């Protein structure tokens, strides 16, 4: 068995459901991603098991899943004990062979750098994000038997982000792809940003829940959910390098 966990908040939940109506999900627990894996296992005689959880939870930690928060839980407070009821990598890697994590779209509301980066700062600045990401990469490399999948940043639609913030998010995105990413290691990048923007710098209006709601809509989720599943399988089966 390959055990996979998907750590997410609301944007991730949209992709988890895919085209499944959320009311149907509440009644039946049905969702597109688990349905995809169930069918794949049957066709290919595999035994891949995927589950999901909100990470971190709203209480007690807070509804925040930005670079600082993964750094805070997994590095500053690493170890064999839960931190504010949240599992560390030492805990998660004992249970799962594949760990997937992401940020929700407010990660793209990035302020201008000050020239004094601080790894322990919650401020959304490129200079802080880069320090936190570099620390996270070192930490994930401590678990070579685990494969990590991280999404490129979810982004806001044009009504919920300034042009300067969109430019900074694009810079962050390019840095992840071109500089931070290392070929041949145990970290794999799923390019969610590119699906949302199609080469631009904003979540496209036709993919958005509404003009002032940067959650992806059901049409978009239905489209990318199977692409996400295929990427996970390619990572497991070493198709992606």
Check residue 208 and give its pLDDT: 96
| Contacts of residue 221, Cβ cutoff 8 Å, sequence gap at least 6 | 14, 15, 17, 18, 19, 32
Residues 199/4, Cβ–Cβ less than 8 Å: no
CATH code for 2-236? 3.40.50.1110
Model confidence pLDDT, tens digit, residues 173-231? 999 999 999 999 999 999 999 999 999 999 999 999 999 999 999 999 999 999 999 99
Pick from 41, 16, 45, 11: nearest CA to 160: 11
Check residue 238 and give its pLDDT: 87
Q: What angle do CA 128, 133, 135 make, to 5 degrees?
A: 100
pLDDT of residue 107 exceeding 80: yes
Residues 67/117, Cβ–Cβ less than 8 Å: no
Q: What is the CA radius of gyration of the chain?
A: 17
Check residue 108 and give its pLDDT: 98
The mean of the pLDDT values for the chain is: 95
Pick from 140, 201, 198, 138: nearest CA to 173: 201
Q: What is the pTM of this model?
A: 0.95
Domain ranges of the chain: 2-236
pLDDT band for position 95 (cuts 50, 70, 90) = very high
C-alpha distances in Å from residue 132, one per residue of 47, 56, 92: 34, 17, 19
**Structure tokens of 78?**
């690493």
The distance of Cα 173 from the centroid of its chain, to the nearest Å, equals 13
Residues 9/104, Cβ–Cβ less than 8 Å: yes
Model confidence pLDDT, tens digit, residues 156-177? 999 999 999 999 999 999 999 9
The distance of Cα 156 from the centroid of its chain, to the nearest Å, equals 15
Check residue 23 and give its pLDDT: 62
Cis peptide upstream of residue 138 (ω within 30 degrees of 0): no
Check residue 24 and give its pLDDT: 66
pLDDT above 70: percentage of residues in the chain:
95
Pick from 154, 138, 146: nearest CA to 9: 154
pLDDT band for position 105 (cuts 50, 70, 90) = very high
pLDDT band for position 14 (cuts 50, 70, 90) = very high
Query: Between 227 and 21, where is the model more confident?
Result: 227
pLDDT of residue 21 exceeding 90: no
pLDDT band for position 239 (cuts 50, 70, 90) = confident
pLDDT above 90: percentage of residues in the chain:
92
Check residue 20 and give its pLDDT: 79
């Amino acid at each position: 068995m390959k055990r996979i966990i998907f750590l997410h908040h609301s944007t991730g939940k949209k992709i988890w459901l895919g085209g499944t109506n959320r009311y149907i999900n509440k009644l039946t627990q049905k969702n597109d991603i688990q349905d995809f894996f169930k069918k794949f296992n049957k066709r290919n005689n595999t035994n891949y098991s995927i589950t999901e959880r909100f990470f971190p939870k709203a209480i007690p930690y807070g509804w925040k899943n930005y670079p600082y928060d993964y750094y805070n839980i997994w590095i500053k407070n690493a170890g064999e004990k839960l931190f504010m009821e949240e599992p560390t990598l030492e805990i998660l890697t004992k249970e799962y062979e594949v760990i997937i994590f992401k940020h929700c779209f407010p990660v793209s509301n990035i302020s201008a750098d000050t020239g004094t980066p601080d790894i322990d700062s919650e401020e959304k600045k490129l200079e802080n994000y880069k320090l936190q990401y570099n620390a996270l990469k070192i930490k994930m490399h401590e678990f070579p038997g685990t494969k990590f999948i991280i999404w490129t940043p979810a982004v806001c639609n044009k009504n919920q982000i300034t042009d300067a913030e969109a430019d900074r998010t694009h810079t962050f995105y390019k840095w992840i792809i071109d500089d931070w990413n290392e070929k041949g290691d145990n970290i794999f990048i799923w390019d969610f940003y590119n699906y949302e923007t199609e080469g631009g710098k904003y979540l496209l209006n036709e993919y958005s829940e509404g003009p002032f709601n940067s959650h992806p809509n059901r049409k978009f989720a239905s489209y990318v959910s199977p692409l996400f599943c295929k990427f996970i399988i390619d990572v497991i089966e070493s198709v992606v390098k």
